[in-house]
């Protein structure tokens, strides 16, 4: 039984004016923690994490896994949404992860595509998804945790990357560049399968006006969720479960500086599973 992981971290989003600062640190930190627990880790950082590279890496990780294998995928970067083209979204919007070449290539990695990749798995493959991003809302600034810290939600408005002709229209008939989606679930949530025993840990609640924040803590940039999730992980007792881990994380978040509520999604059996076993 193999243990493999893919850690993605994207700070640089050329052409969007929405660069982040803690996502590459997140990916490196997750990779180090997973390697310590026996995982063979691959990483995609900044310009490595094009849409094509993300699709290939996810497809290889999941497609080559066999029964009993344990997989972990972490994503730190912007989330976004775009107009739904196949009619399967009630709110008319597909949720998506933002690759490095989001604006230069004009393509996000949408939930439908991620779901198809995950659907190719063999029976008995266990997957843990860890998302430090947000997928719906308006862009605001978080409270500054430290002097000169430039903290912001990890959400990319459509108007920062989609051409005007592809944007939905507001009530005045003009391109709606910053509209708030009425629903807004993570693409990783869409890929998650309760039936197959998946588990999802995310930095914030699903839906509008919930954010995962880029943070500066102790002089270093990280996702607030990643920082405290890894801090909690180090303090867990031997044999701790995912439910134990989540309980430890929410002792730190939400906070005054980072008003986000980390979530755990999974069956009772998945929640009771041993952390990163």
Locate all alpha helices (DSSP H) within 135-267, ordered by sequence: 187-191, 224-235, 242-249
- Give dist(CA 1, CA 204) in Å, integer: 31
Q: Could you please report the per-residue DSSP string of 204-231?
A: S-SSTT---BEEEETTEEEEHHHHHHHH
78 in catalytic set:
yes
Name which of 237, 137, 125, 149 is nearest 185 in CA terms: 137
Which of 98, 134, 204, 246 is flagged as catalytic?
A: 134
How far from the centroid of its chain's Cα atoms is residue 181's Cα? 17
135 in catalytic set:
no
Query: Residues 6 or more apart from 166 whose CB is under 8 A from it?
Result: 82, 83
- Give dist(CA 196, CA 113) in Å, integer: 19
Specify whether the CB–CB gap between 241 and 275 falls below 8 A.
Answer: yes
Tokens found for residue 134 = 């947000």
- Give dist(CA 268, CA 265) in Å, integer: 9
136 upstream amide cis, omega within 30 of 0: no
Which of 7, 23, 78, 135 is flagged as catalytic?
A: 78
Specify whether the CB–CB gap between 187 and 95 falls below 8 A.
Answer: yes
Torsion of CA 99, 86, 196, 76, to 10 degrees: 20
Residues noted as catalytic: 78, 134
């Amino acid at each position: 039984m193999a243990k493999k992981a893919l850690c993605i971290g994207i700070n640089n989003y050329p052409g969007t004016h929405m660069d982040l600062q803690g996502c590459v640190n997140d990916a490196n930190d997750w990779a180090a923690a997973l390697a310590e627990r026996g995982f063979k880790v691959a990483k995609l950082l900044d310009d490595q994490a094009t849409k094509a590279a993300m699709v290939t890496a996810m497809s290889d990780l999941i497609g080559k896994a066999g029964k009993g294998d344990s997989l972990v995928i972490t994503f730190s970067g912007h989330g976004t949404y775009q107009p739904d083209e196949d009619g399967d979204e009630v709110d008319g919007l597909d949720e998506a992860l933002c690759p490095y070449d989001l604006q230069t290539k004009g393509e996000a990695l949408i939930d439908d595509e991620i779901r198809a990749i995950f659907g190719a798995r063999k029976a008995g493959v266990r997957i843990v998804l860890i998302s430090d991003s947000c997928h719906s809302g308006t862009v605001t600034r978080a409270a500054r945790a430290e002097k000169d810290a430039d903290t912001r939600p990890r959400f990319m408005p459509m108007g920062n990357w989609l051409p005007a002709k592809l944007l939905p229209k507001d009530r005045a008939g003009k391109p709606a560049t910053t509209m708030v989606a009425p629903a807004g679930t993570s693409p990783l949530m869409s890929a998650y399968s309760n039936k197959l025993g998946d588990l999802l840990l995310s930095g914030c609640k699903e839906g509008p006006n919930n954010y995962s924040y880029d943070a500066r803590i102790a002089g270093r940039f990280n996702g607030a969720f990643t920082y405290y999730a890894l801090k909690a992980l180090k303090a867990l007792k031997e044999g701790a479960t995912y439910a134990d881990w989540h309980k430890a994380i929410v002792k730190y978040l939400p906070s005054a500086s980072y008003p986000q509520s980390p979530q755990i999604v999974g069956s009772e059996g998945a929640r009771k599973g041993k952390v990163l076993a």
